[in-house]
Each structure stands twice: as C-alpha cells, then as structure tokens.
Structure 1
Amino acid sequence: MFEERKLLIATKHQKELVIAPLFWEEFRNYYFTSDAFDTDSLGTFSGEIDRKEDALSTLREKCIIANKATNCDLVVASEGSFGAHPTLFFVQANEEFMMLKDFKNDIEIVAREISLETNFNGKLITNEADLLEFAEKVNFPSHAIILKPEEKNFSKIFKGINTKDVLLKSYNELKQEFNSVYAETDMRAMFNPTRMKVIEQVTHKLIEKIKSLCPRCSFPGFDIVNAMPGLPCENCLLPTRSTLSYLYQCKKCCYEKELHYPRGIKFEDPTYCDNCNP
C-alpha cells in the first residue's frame, strides 16, 4: 500500500535527515520537502507564534496543509512538546508525535515517544559568566541557543546561535539595548541533536505501527487502543493497577484482539500492590 510512493516530509527543520532513510529502507519511498507551506505558522518553539491546538491536532493540520499545498497524497510529519514529564513532574521531557497521513486511502497512523533525554531549558541572564555557564549546561555549541530581551519579549530575537563569538555579540547587543537578556535552548530539530534522536526513535515506532496489520482485513495500523489494569499480585493474588492486557483495534473493520501479559510476566511484584504495600 505504501511501497515506492512519493512521500512528502512536512518539515522546514531538516527532520528528513533521520526520517527519510528509515522510510526508504522499509518502503522505498521517494521523499521530498517543500517550501510551498510554512509549518511554523502553526506555532514556534521560541514563542512568537503560539500553538493554538494540542500537539496531535496541530500535527493533523500540518499534514492537511502540506497535502493542499503540494497535492502529494502521502505525508509524514512530527510535532514536539517540551516541559514536565506527565508522571515524573519535576523532570523535563520531550514528547514527540509523528503521523503518517495517506489521503489516497484515508489512513492516519500516529506514534508517540516520550523521552527524558532533553536539554530543554531557559534562564534570565545577568552577565557573561552566567551566560557561558548556561551554555555549558545545555551542551553548547553542538546544541544552539536563542537570545531575546525577556522570556515573553520577541521584539528582537537571535536564533540558532552556535558559536561563542556570536553568542557574546548577541548578548551584548541585547544587554545594551534592553538591559536584560533571556537565554533558552533552540529546540528546532536541526539545531538540537538530542531532539533529533528522539524524532528518529518515534520514526521507528511509526514504521512498526504501519507494518502492524489487522488479522482480519490486513489494514495497516492495527494498534493498542486501551491498556487493561489488573495484573495479579504475586503475594496476595489480588489485582493491581499494573497492566494485565492490551486491547488492539483495527481502524477500518473495528476488529479487536486482547493480548495478555504484554510485559512477559503473569504476576506483579508486591511492591506495586496497593493491598500488600498500601
């Protein structure tokens, strides 16, 4: 269904460097990118344009815009978010969604990856020593930095800074004009190798989902729609909150299949039992 078709990778941040080789290896897709649309119009990491929708809705809109601008009926795109981990609240995380949208066959397949590997950071800078300390902390110069007067002040902004000379020059220019400087990591993929690795990881996940076919109708994207708790405790045998099974569902014929013991164990450690360890 997908082999040897033209594939539009909807990005202006060089994500094709990690996405294209994986799709070529698996499906022999001839990829291209396009300047006929601007994905930044849906939101920027530096804050000048706020993202109005959630990540998944924004990603879907990105694919639709790309399709309308180029008439390519097979589009892949990704959308990242940065901030507190959904369960480890004091830890920064990078959440990446990636979508393959096949307009010809009306197929939408989505993969998600959450990684603790991120240098996402921002700080109000008071002097050059403070700036260089921040730069070292965020893996500069392999990872670029953005400078602006304040966190929410976009009247003058320097992006993609990846040399010490430019970093200090930009800092001094802002300091002289505004008397304050805010530094933050540039999270655009081509300026952030750590994020690029997460995009590569979610590409692998997406490809595996594409290859997962419905046992009944062979439609691609046969995937988990629900995780069922209830794995019994090894000690008291009462159900725990740990996953007992995954429910898979076909997006086309709605066939469902339940897979028990997805972690390969039939009992949970009593440490995670609310009865044994309340």
Structure 2
Amino acid sequence: MFTGRKLLIATKHQKEKIIAPLIEKAIGALCFISTAFDTDSLGTFSGEIERKDNALTTLRNKCLLGFQNTNCDLVIASEGSFGAHPTLFFASANEEMIMLKDFKNDIEIVARELSLETNSKGITIEFEKDLIEFAQNIQFPAHGIILKSSEKNPLKIRKDFDSLVELLEQYNRLKSDHSSIYAETDMRAHRNPTRMKVIEKVTYSLIEKIKNCCPNCKTPGFDVVSAQFGLPCALCSLPTRSTLSHLYQCKKCGFQQEKMFPRGIQVEDPTYCDNCNP
C-alpha cells in the first residue's frame, strides 16, 4: 500500500533525520520534507505561539497542513508533551505521539511512547554561576537552552546558542533589564538529542502498528481499542487488576478480535493481587 509512494514528514526541526531512514526501510515509501508550510504555527515549545489543541488534534492538523500545502496524500507528523509522569508523580516525563495519515486510503495510525528519559527543566536565574550550573546539568551545548525575560508571558525570548560564551552574553543583555531570567531546556527536537531518542522509539512503535494488518480486509493499523482486566492470581485464582486481554479493531472495516494474555503470562504474581496482598 505504501511502497514507492511519496511520504511527507511534517517537521521543521530535523525529525526526518530519525524518522525517514526507519520508515523508508520498513514500508518502502519515499520520504521528503517541505518548507511550504510552518508546523510552528500550531504551537512552539519556545513559547512564541501557544499550542491551543491537545497533542492528538495538533497531530491531525499538522498532517492536514502538510497535505493542503504539498498535495502529498501520505504524511507523518509527531508531537511531544512534557510534564509530570502520570503515575510516578515526582518524575518528569516525555510523551511522544506520532501519526501516519493516508488521505488517499482514509487511514490514520497513531503510536505513543511515554518515557522517563527527559532533561526537561526550568529555573529562575539571578546569578551567572547558576546559569553555568544549569547548563552543565542539562548537557549544554549538546542540548539547547532557552532564555526568557519571565517564565510566564515573556516579552523577550532568546535561543539557539552554540557556546557558553554566547549564552552568557545573551543572559547578561537580558539581565540588564530584568532582576532575574528564566532558563529552560530547549525541547525542540533538533536541539534535544534526548528527545530525539524517544522519537526514534515511537517511530519503531508506529512501524509495528503499520505492519499489523486487519485479518479481514488487510488494512494496516489493526490496533488495540480496549483492554479487559482480570488476569487470575497464581495463588488464589481470583481476578486481579492486571490485563487479561486486548480487543483489536480495524478502523476501516470494523472487524474486531480479542487477543488473550497480551503480556505473555496466564496468571499474575500474588504480589499484584488485592486479595493476597491487600
């Protein structure tokens, strides 16, 4: 379905360096990028433009933007979010989402990756030595830094520093007009190798989903739509909160199939049983 077709990677931050080789090898599409549109118009990590929609809607809009401006009907886009981990409350996390949108065949395939591998940080700086320490902690200059006149609604934003000398020079210029400066890790993909690794992982997940075709109509993207809990405890046999099965559904023809024991085990360790270990 995809072999030999042109595939647009909707990005302006060099994500194609990671995504294109993997996708071309896996599905035989011919990847390219375009400057005919600006994905930053949907929101920026540096703060100039606020992202108005959630990550999934933003992904769809990126793909649509690419399609409308290049007339390429096969598009991939990715979108990242950063914040507290949903269950490890004191840990920071990077959630990456990636979408393949085939406008010709009306197919949408989405993959997600939640990772603790992130250096997303921000700090208010009053002294030059604190900025130097922050730069060392986030592995600058391999990872970028953004300077802002304030954390919220900054009037001035400075970025794309390639050396400590340049960073300190811009810091002192901003500091001459403000009592403190807000410094944060640059989370744009081309300025953050740690994030790029997570984008690589989610691309592999997308490839797995693309290759998982519907048993009924052979459409790519036969994917999990719900999970059934109740894996029995190995000791007392009562149902636990662990996953018993996954329900797969084709977005094209609606065919459904339940797959038992997705974790490869048929009973759960009593450690995770509410009856044995309340």
Does the pair score TM above 0.5?
Answer: yes
Q: Supply the distance in 2 between the matched residues of 1:208 and 1:162 (Cα, whole angstroms).
A: 37
User: 1:273 aligned to 2:263?
Assistant: no
Letter in 2 for 1:129: K
- Residues 36-75 of structure 1: pairs in structure 2 closer than 5 A: 36-75=36-75
Q: Which residue of 2 aligns with 1:210?
A: 210
Shift, 1:179, TM fit: 2.3
> Root-mean-square deviation (CA), in Å?
1.0
Q: For residues 223-257 of structure 1, what are the alpha-carbon distances to aligned partners after superposition, in whole Å with 9 as ceiling and x for unaligned? A: 11111110011111110000011111111111111
Work out the number of aligned pairs and report it: 278
Q: CA shift at 1:162, angstroms?
A: 3.2
- Work out whether 1:91 is the aligned partner of 2:91: yes
Shift, 1:64, TM fit: 0.5
State the one-letter code of the partner of 2:159: K
- Whether the 8 Å contact between 1:143 and 1:162 is mirrored in structure 2 is no
Cα 1:97–1:188 change in 2 (3 A) is same
1:34 aligns with 2:28: no
Of 189-198 and 41-50, more deviation after overlay is shown by 41-50
Question: Which residue of structure 1 lines up, in the alignment, with residue 233 of structure 2?
Answer: 233
Match for residue 194 of structure 1?
194
Q: Which amino acid aligns with 2:100?
A: L
Aligned equivalent of 1:165: 165
CA offset digits 1:173-211 (Å, max 9, x no partner): 111122221000000000000000111111111111111
Q: 1:89 Cα shift? A: 1.6
Question: Using the alignment, how far apart are the partners of 1:186 and 1:178 within structure 2?
Answer: 21
Whole-Å Cα distance in 2 between the matches of residues 144 and 162 of structure 1?
A: 8
Q: CA deviation at 1:149?
A: 1.0
Runs of at least 5 residues in structure 1 that lack an aligned partner in the other structure = none
The match for 2:139 is 139
Instruction: Name the aligned partner's letter for residue 119 of structure 1.
Output: N
- How far apart are 1:153 and its partner, in Å? 3.6
Alpha-carbon distance in 2 for matches of 1:233, 1:246:
18
CA contact (8 A) 1:145 1:162 kept: no
- Deviation of 1:271 (Å): 1.2
Q: Distance in 1 between matches of 2:100 and 2:92?
A: 27
Find the counterpart in structure 2 of residue 113 from structure 1: 113
Q: Specify the SS of the correspondent of 1:65.
A: helix
1:116-127 alignment runs, 5 A limit: 116-127=116-127
Deviation at 1:37, TM superposition (A): 1.0
Q: Name the residue aligned to 2:19.
A: 19
Q: Which amino acid aligns with 1:189?
A: A
Asked whether the 8 Å contact 2:37–2:66 carries over to 1, the reply is yes
Normalised to the residue count of structure 2, the TM-score between the two structures is 0.98
Among all aligned residue pairs of Structure 1 and Structure 2, give the percentage whose two residues are the same amino acid.
Answer: 67
Give the aligned partner of residue 263 of structure 1: 263
* Corresponding residue number in structure 2 for 1:254: 254
* Equivalent position of 1:104 in the other structure: 104
Contact 2:126–2:179 under 8 Å retained in 1: no
Letter aligned with residue 224 of structure 2: I
- Contact 2:99 2:108 survives alignment (8 Å): yes
Runs of 4+ off more than 3 Å: none
Mapped partners of 1:11, 1:153: distance in 2: 25
